[in-house]
């Protein structure tokens, strides 16, 4: 390996900002040259700004602003000087000071940032880090002679281009909406966790005078956020949240749970099953109380336990017909029940394996053929266990490596773990 490491990050979001910032600190504090190139399809922070789905930008983060790109600022990563440099240059407070908003933010109760503010912050970090930004939609990843090539559709020249000689590639993003409903029609009245936010501005007009209930399918953060938006928009008809759990479970700030998110010594003592239980209970299966607040006082929101089996027209096949959600309950899985709906929001999840289509077919099959192994055999630096290649990192699949690397819980620790092997390879 040379004395320079080159890493490609696919997606200019939260993970990219954390990795770019840490690489800049390592360069300035330790003289270690790790060059980051960020490939971004839309704009830096696209999934937070409100301009490209997933949110309207006005929603607030569930996690605190202080869980920024350097959190938890542990000295164990790269030492006290890097932690201090990260705090001084890339923290949320540094962003607030640089944009003259710090005093207001403190006076106003150190609120959780809106998603749009968070997008601005990510842009601030990536720009300040000096990382290279390529405006392009990454389409294909190739690997030979220990190095990666990223092919992409250039968003400025509208031509296919390629950049070579990367020592590692980091895939980011939760992926496109991925329905868990066995049968679902395509209709403008059936939205999902991505498209809801692109249509929501016109929904109050569309729904005006329509008395039928709205059905939201799913029992996680996306279901709660869409229901919260509808309540705040003054939608009057019943909003039914249909989820496979018994109810919407709440996730609050608890010192025990929060510490468990960053104590890797404790984490490593847990079995595979216990780790899955933890992340399913606290990240997938629970809704932050900040998101539940909007629903707690709403009389028109009800929760219905059940598994959606189909979203179809009534009569079947008639696109002018009513929309019907068919579901079963766990006590009676063979008997179908029905909810007539004016609008359906499918909030059943996203596809974190979205990147497989970018890989040569042999690795595509390896990734998709054994998804559990991709997670259970992942390295500490979140490298996928692929045969015959190294350096493909997928932090959004890292729930077994750490409970916090796939979310915003400890972006600083995530970037430490990911960059460590590269740092060690070129440290004098």
User: Which parts of this chain interact with ligand FAD (CB under 6 A)?
Assistant: 10-16, 39-42, 46-47, 54-55, 61-63, 115, 137-138, 172-174, 396, 407-409
Q: Report how far residue 194's alpha carbon sits from residue 180's, in angstroms, rounded to the nearest whole number.
A: 15
Half-sphere exposure of 95 (CA within 13 A, CB side): 26
H-helix or E-strand spanning residue 21: helix 14-30
Residue in this structure with the two tokens 């059940």, named with its chain if needed = 306
Q: Where are the beta strands (DSSP E) in 11-159?
A: 33-40, 132-144, 147-154
Instruction: Please provide residue 187's backbone torsions phi and psi, each rounded to the nearest 5 degrees.
Output: -155, 150
Q: Which is nearer to ligand FAD, 151 or 213 (CB)?
A: 151
Q: Which is nearer to ligand FAD, 42 or 120 (CB)?
A: 42
Q: Which is nearer to ligand FAD, 325 or 345 (CB)?
A: 345
Q: Are 338 and 326 in contact (CB under 8 A)?
A: yes
Shortest CB 399 distance to ligand FAD, Å: 12
Shortest CB 11 distance to ligand FAD, Å: 2
Number of CB atoms found within 10 A of residue 133's CB? 19
Shortest CB 283 distance to ligand FAD, Å: 8
Shortest CB 8 distance to ligand FAD, Å: 10
Q: Report how far residue 233's alpha carbon sits from residue 223's, in angstroms, rounded to the nearest whole number.
A: 15
Q: Which is nearer to ligand FAD, 42 or 380 (CB)?
A: 42
Residue in this structure with the two tokens 């959780």, named with its chain if needed = 112
Sign of CA dihedral 220, 221, 222, 223: positive
Q: Report how far residue 331's alpha carbon sits from residue 312's, in angstroms, rounded to the nearest whole number.
A: 23
Q: Report how far residue 247's alpha carbon sits from residue 285's, in angstroms, rounded to the nearest whole number.
A: 10
Q: Report how far residue 384's alpha carbon sits from residue 181's, in angstroms, rounded to the nearest whole number.
A: 28
H-helix or E-strand spanning residue 8: strand 4-10
Q: Which is nearer to ligand FAD, 10 or 86 (CB)?
A: 10
Q: Which is nearer to ligand FAD, 39 or 124 (CB)?
A: 39
Q: Which is nearer to ligand FAD, 41 or 307 (CB)?
A: 41
Alpha helices in 286-385 (DSSP H): 289-296, 361-369, 371-376
Shortest CB 117 distance to ligand FAD, Å: 12
Shortest CB 300 distance to ligand FAD, Å: 24
Shortest CB 200 distance to ligand FAD, Å: 13
Shortest CB 199 distance to ligand FAD, Å: 15
Q: Report how far residue 423's alpha carbon sits from residue 25's, in angstroms, rounded to the nearest whole number.
A: 12
Q: Which is nearer to ligand FAD, 249 or 313 (CB)?
A: 249
């Amino acid at each position: 390996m040379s004395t320079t490491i080159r890493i490609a990050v696919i997606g200019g979001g939260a993970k990219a900002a954390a990795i770019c910032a840490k690489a800049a600190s390592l360069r300035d504090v330790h003289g270690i040259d790790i060059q980051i190139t960020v490939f971004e399809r839309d704009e830096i922070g696209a999934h937070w700004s409100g301009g490209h789905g997933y949110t309207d930008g006005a929603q607030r983060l569930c996690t605190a602003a202080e869980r920024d790109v350097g959190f938890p600022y542990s000295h164990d990563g790269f030492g006290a000087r890097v932690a201090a440099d990260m705090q001084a240059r890339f923290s949320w407070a540094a962003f607030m000071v640089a944009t003259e908003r710090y005093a207001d933010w403190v006076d106003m109760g150190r609120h959780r940032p809106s998603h749009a503010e968070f997008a601005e912050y990510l842009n601030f970090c990536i720009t300040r880090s000096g990382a290279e930004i390529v405006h392009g939609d990454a389409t294909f990843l190739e690997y030979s002679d220990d190095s990666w090539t990223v092919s992409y559709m250039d968003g400025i020249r509208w031509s296919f281009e390629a950049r070579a000689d990367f020592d590692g590639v980091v895939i980011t993003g939760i992926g496109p909406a991925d329905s868990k409903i066995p049968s679902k029609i395509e209709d403008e009245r059936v939205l999902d966790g991505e498209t809801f936010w692109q249509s929501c501005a016109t929904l109050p007009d569309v729904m005006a005078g329509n008395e039928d209930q709205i059905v939201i399918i799913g029992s996680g953060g996306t279901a709660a956020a869409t229901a919260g938006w509808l309540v705040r928009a003054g939608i009057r008809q019943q909003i039914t949240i249909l989820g496979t759990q018994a109810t919407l479970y709440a996730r609050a700030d608890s010192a025990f749970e929060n510490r468990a998110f960053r104590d890797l010594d404790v984490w490593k003592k847990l079995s595979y099953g216990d780790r899955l239980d933890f992340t399913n209970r606290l990240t997938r299966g629970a809704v932050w109380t900040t998101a539940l607040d909007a629903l707690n006082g709403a009389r028109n929101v009800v929760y219905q336990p059940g598994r959606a089996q189909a979203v179809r027209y009534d009569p079947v096949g008639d696109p002018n017909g009513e929309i019907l959600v068919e579901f079963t309950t766990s006590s009676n899985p063979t008997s179908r029940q029905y909810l007539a709906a004016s609008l359906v929001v499918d909030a059943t999840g996203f596809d974190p394996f979205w990147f497989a289509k970018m890989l040569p077919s042999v690795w595509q099959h390896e990734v998709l053929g054994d998804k559990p192994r991709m997670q259970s055999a992942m390295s500490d630096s979140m490298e996928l266990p692929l045969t015959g290649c190294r350096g493909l990192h997928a932090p959004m699949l890292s729930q077994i490596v750490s409970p916090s690397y796939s979310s915003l819980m400890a972006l600083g620790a995530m970037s430490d773990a990911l960059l460590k092997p590269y740092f060690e390879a070129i440290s004098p």
